[in-house]
Amino acid sequence: MTPTFVPLAFERVMGCTATELVSWLPRALPDAALNTDVQDGRSVAAWTIGTLELRWHTLPPRRIALLEIPQLRVHFVFQGLNDEERYRVQRCFDLQTHRGGG
Cα dihedral across residues 10, 11, 14, 16: positive or negative: positive
pLDDT number for residue 1: 65
Query: What are the pLDDT digits (tens) for 17-76?
Result: 999 999 999 999 999 999 999 999 999 999 999 999 999 999 999 999 999 999 999 999
**Is there a contact between 91 and 77 (Cβ–Cβ < 8 Å)?**
no
Mean of the pLDDT values across residues 65-93?
A: 96
The residue ranges of every structural domain in the chain are 9-97
Distance CA 49, CA 79 (A): 9
Q: pLDDT category, 96, cuts 50, 70, 90?
A: very high
pLDDT number for residue 14: 96
Query: What are the pLDDT digits (tens) for 9-33?
Result: 999 999 999 999 999 999 999 999 9
Q: Does domain 9-97 have CATH number 3.30.1330.60?
A: no
